[in-house]
Structure 1
């Protein structure tokens, strides 16, 4: 049984958007540029994003495994300091966000979410990490992520080390 997020093996956890991934393997394994239009104060805008579920999935695995290794090295250092806690917090947030992205169900996934060029910036968003504890907000998160909430190192109710 895993004690921390870095004890998990991402590839042994079912991919929430497996159908989207399988379709992409068949239809566009090398990705495709896709337009998306939206309304703004200045009228209709058209942006393009890279729809690449295959690369996105591979990048999630790569980043998760790299962060796992960093966390293990930090924990083995047995040095608790502000720097240690800051690094561990960032790693834990990234691992949780990667797991959240991995578990997002097919029916909630949107094409622009699968743009690997934008992912690393989004992985440091602390909102999901802490909002998942809020009883009023927890309903908006997919059910699959809820079982992994206790594996986070930090919580609003106190630090868990």
Structure 2
């Protein structure tokens, strides 16, 4: 009877784990000079921090399957907002360093940032060629976050 009870408990726990609605996402974060970024916060729902990168820019987090949007943020770097594809479990992100723009309008700053933003796929490919990333293409869609918003 005791063996049957233990077997039932083990079976129940394995079924619960099998049907859990979580997925593991791992990856790496570098800047636009292909230097690793330590302690970058990984956020869902704009407020809930689910993890941070380690000293070498690597991370591994557990996410609910329903989560489709991640945000990477840290000091001195433009925040990166990405929308995950359904089968995306390897996320490798190139983040842009944040510059100081004096005496120009926010519209012009956004135009400058957009030029740099459009070069990110090339930087991702270059990071792959240097061995920093495992894949040469992203499995997510990156969103540009403008500083200037029209009313």
What TM bracket, shorter-length normalisation? under 0.3
TM-score by length of structure 1 reads 0.26
- Structure with larger Rg: 2
Name which structure has the greater RCO, CA cutoff 8 Å, separation 6+: 1
TM-score by length of structure 2 reads 0.28
More helix by share: 1
